[in-house]
Amino acid sequence: MTTEQETNLREGLQAAYPAAEPSEALRVRVTGLAREMKSVNSATQSHPWRIGLRLAGIAATTLVVLAFLLPPKLTAVQAFERMTASLKDVRSAHYISWNIRPDGTRVKGEEVWYQAGNWRVEVINPDWHQIEVCRDGTRWTYVAQRESVTQDKAAFPAGYDSISGFSISALQHDAVASGNQTHITLLGNTIEGGRPVHTILFYSQWMFDKQEPTWRSRITVDDATNLPIRLETQKRKPVETRWITTETREEDFNQPVSAAVFVPDFPKTAWLIDAVAERDYWRRRLDKGVAASNTVVVRDLQVNANGVVFLLFTANDEVGRDIPFGNVKSVDLTDEFGTRYTDPSVQNNGIGSQNFVPTCMNITAGGEKVAGYLFGEKQLEGRRWVPVEKQTSWKPRQFRLTFHLQNLKSGQADTAVFDLPLQSAEADTVPKYMPYMGRSLSSDAGAEGDEEMDVRAYYLYHIAHDLPAALRAYRELLTYRAGAQNKLGLTYGWSSVQWLEVTHILIELGRIEEAKTALTQAKHDDDSARCSPATHEQIRTEMKKLGMDP
């Protein structure tokens, strides 16, 4: 039996029988005590009171040892709840997260400090250096690449709160909120670093996925404090038993943290952005709008230097309506130069819809309700278009927006048309209002990089069905990702999807041998990144069709 098989077997047995098993040394000790009791019992009766005391002492010692050996069984739910309760009472915390490369080496991803309501979150990698400091109800966010510091009113770093900042006690809540089913398993006690610990396995799986879970958190917890000391994110391919650790986090609680850690000391040359004033500015600007009809108000229209277009609008849609995007069925965009734009209503395999949600209800980030901007009973909506052909230098132009609407009560169709000129590319990568939206887009959504190339390639293949152009676009994307991967020492978890797209294009072009090579690469990326079960199954199916061994 291999070490890996032995580990999997041990985990399975411990999961089935969670009570701790006595070590061999303790077994020997108990056996010795039993023999000693037997020898004393058979000894001479010349000093019965002494023998009685000795027997009582041996019996008491045996009970103590057995109590240690056979502690009361702790259920998985109890262990998880105890850990959660302990986390609520921590005075300070410090942890370091590491990304695990395919070769097993580690790359530092994030370091976090917390003490007495103060926070510091630091992310450093070759492409991004960001520091967030929170104290006294104010948050400072420093981004080295932008040479900027954004000051805002917030008690917690973005995406954190007083509990989920430690990322464990919120696991179950976040998973269920995302439509996942969860399962908790408790492994038996072991000794680590001279202290007894137990291990909690937290599984999460999309509720409609009938296969075995392919993701879990392995949490090592100190028995004495009920606080975690390590969290490992693990993935596996469907049907396999082998779990691969993709990220690990080392944790330490209730140790003093230097006050200097929470001082917002950033370069004096950094551009200071007052987010409170900026948020108020955008509320006033969007409230005025740029054009209106009886049914639609165009709140903002922007373009960046790469030609990516961003639209904000409100229509006759009440806030909280349980119909996606209300009565607006679609929005078409054209310009005077005849530029082709991707369709924002199309669901892209790589990144999802190009619609974004500026206004949404009951979203919590950092303990604060985030709803974006509301205008009376109208909810703010957003669209984004990516030019199919790259824009080398953007020129002023006039856009035409055509809204296709349907009255939700009568079912009657309607349209609203706007001709709007833009003289300059105001946005950098995404508009400056984006941080204040309910569900915003990352800066990558407007950059000439990974996400934009993915949108363009998907459109060329699935919408325009321009096979040669789509093939060039996907290869450009994959070359870009390979360069980023080598730079960061990481593996993109979704490249197998794009390699699979390349395979389909090559099959349609009749280039079967090249398709096999692309499919081999798709399998390689799927194996190393542990992609979704659906992608894994598609790869196996295509390999069988091409006579390859999956």
3-state secondary structure of 411: coil
**In total, how many domains does the chain have?**
4
Using a pLDDT cut of 70, give the percent of the chain over it: 71
Q: Looking at 261, 287, 316, which one is the last position of a domain?
A: 261
Instruction: Indicate whether 36 and 173 sit together in one domain.
Output: no
From the list 425, 431, 466, 457, the residue with the least C-alpha distance to 445 is 431
Instruction: Indicate whether 233 and 347 sit together in one domain.
Output: no
- Our CA angle for 338, 341, 344, nearest 5°, is 145
From the list 4, 6, 23, the residue with the least C-alpha distance to 188 is 23
Q: What is the mean pLDDT of residues 221-228?
A: 92
State the Cα–Cα distance between residues 330 and 326, nearest whole angstrom: 10
More reliable by pLDDT, 40 or 313: 313
From the list 449, 450, 469, the residue with the least C-alpha distance to 459 is 469
More reliable by pLDDT, 196 or 436: 196
Q: What is the mean pLDDT of residues 281-298?
A: 93
DSSP class of residue 165 equals G
Instruction: Indicate whether 251 and 286 sit together in one domain.
Output: no
Using a pLDDT cut of 90, give the percent of the chain over it: 33
Backbone φ/ψ region at 359: left (φ over 0), alpha (ψ -120 to 50), beta? beta
More reliable by pLDDT, 457 or 357: 457
pLDDT at 168: 56
Instruction: Indicate whether 150 and 251 sit together in one domain.
Output: yes
Instruction: Indicate whether 80 and 197 sit together in one domain.
Output: yes
pLDDT at 320: 43
pLDDT at 365: 42
- Per-residue pLDDT at 198 exceeds 80: yes
State the Cα–Cα distance between residues 365 and 373, nearest whole angstrom: 16
Greatest mean pLDDT among 38-42, 78-82, 304-308, 436-440 lies in 304-308
Quickly count: other Cβ atoms within 10 Å of residue 23's Cβ: 12
Q: Poorest-confidence range of 46-55, 443-452, 454-463, 539-548?
A: 46-55
- Tell me whether residue 13 is in a domain: no
Query: What are 151's strand-pairing partners?
Result: 140, 274
Quickly count: other Cβ atoms within 10 Å of residue 364's Cβ: 13
- Confidence tier at 139 by pLDDT (50, 70, 90): very high
Report residue 161 as tokens. Answer: 């709160």
- Per-residue pLDDT at 325 exceeds 50: no
Q: What is the mean pLDDT of residues 323-338?
A: 78
Report residue 185 as tokens. Answer: 């398993």
Consecutive H or E run containing 77 = helix 76-88
Q: Looking at 441, 474, 501, which one is the last position of a domain?
A: 441
Greatest mean pLDDT among 71-75, 85-89, 166-170, 198-202 lies in 198-202
Task: Give the helix ranges, DSSP H, for 317-449.
Answer: none
pLDDT at 90: 86
Q: Are 386 and 452 in contact (CB under 8 A)?
A: yes
Instruction: Indicate whether 244 and 281 sit together in one domain.
Output: no
DSSP class of residue 206 equals E
State the Cα–Cα distance between residues 368 and 362, nearest whole angstrom: 10
Query: What are 347's strand-pairing partners?
Result: 353
Consecutive H or E run containing 286 = helix 275-288
Q: Are 145 and 289 in contact (CB under 8 A)?
A: no
Please say whether the dihedral angle defined by the alpha carbons of residues 310, 312, 313 and 314, taken in this order, is positive or negative. positive
Q: What is the mean pLDDT of residues 9-17?
A: 50
- Tell me whether residue 122 is in a domain: yes
Instruction: Indicate whether 293 and 388 sit together in one domain.
Output: yes
State the Cα–Cα distance between residues 206 and 183, nearest whole angstrom: 12
pLDDT at 11: 56
Helical axes 533-545 vs 512-529, angle rounded to 10°: 150
For the full predicted model, state whether its pTM sits above 0.75.
Answer: no
- Per-residue pLDDT at 319 exceeds 60: no
Q: Which amino acid is at 310?
A: F
Query: What are 125's strand-pairing partners?
Result: 128
- Per-residue pLDDT at 201 exceeds 60: yes
- Tell me whether residue 322 is in a domain: yes
- Tell me whether residue 456 is in a domain: no
Residues in CB range of 246: below 8 A, 6 or more apart:
99, 100, 233, 234, 235, 530
- Tell me whether residue 12 is in a domain: no
- Our CA angle for 292, 298, 300, nearest 5°, is 140
Task: Return the exposure string of 100-121: e unless at least 16 CB atoms fall within 10 Å of the residue's CB, then b.
Answer: bbeeeeeeebbebbbbeebbbb
Of the chain, the end-to-end C-alpha distance in Å amounts to: 25
Instruction: Indicate whether 404 and 388 sit together in one domain.
Output: yes
Greatest mean pLDDT among 45-59, 227-241, 377-391, 415-429 lies in 415-429
Greatest mean pLDDT among 31-35, 444-448, 500-504 lies in 500-504
The whole-chain average pLDDT of the chain stands at: 78
Q: Are 302 and 310 in contact (CB under 8 A)?
A: yes
- Tell me whether residue 196 is in a domain: yes
Q: Which amino acid is at 94?
A: H
Quickly count: other Cβ atoms within 10 Å of residue 312's Cβ: 26
CA distances from 173 to 200, 458, 510 (A): 16, 34, 49
- Tell me whether residue 461 is in a domain: no
pLDDT at 124: 81
- Per-residue pLDDT at 233 exceeds 60: yes
Instruction: Indicate whether 116 and 250 sit together in one domain.
Output: yes
pLDDT at 145: 81
Instruction: Indicate whether 502 and 527 sit together in one domain.
Output: yes
From the list 400, 445, 447, 389, the residue with the least C-alpha distance to 422 is 400
- The predicted-structure confidence for 92-129, as pLDDT tens digits, reads as follows 999 899 988 777 888 888 999 999 889 999 988 767 78
Phi, psi of 156 (to 5 degrees): -130, 160
Backbone φ/ψ region at 393: left (φ over 0), alpha (ψ -120 to 50), beta? beta
DSSP class of residue 251 equals E
Give the CATH number, domain containing residue 316.
2.60.40
- Tell me whether residue 80 is in a domain: yes
pLDDT at 490: 58
From the list 356, 355, 326, the residue with the least C-alpha distance to 343 is 355
- Per-residue pLDDT at 211 exceeds 80: no
State the Cα–Cα distance between residues 193 and 179, nearest whole angstrom: 38
Decide the pairing of beta strands 190-192 and 180-186.
unpaired
- The predicted-structure confidence for 256-266, as pLDDT tens digits, reads as follows 999 999 999 99
Structural domain of 202: 76-261
pLDDT at 451: 78
- The predicted-structure confidence for 140-153, as pLDDT tens digits, reads as follows 999 888 788 999 98
- The predicted-structure confidence for 420-479, as pLDDT tens digits, reads as follows 999 999 988 889 898 888 777 777 777 777 778 888 898 899 988 999 999 999 999 998
State the Cα–Cα distance between residues 101 and 245, nearest whole angstrom: 9
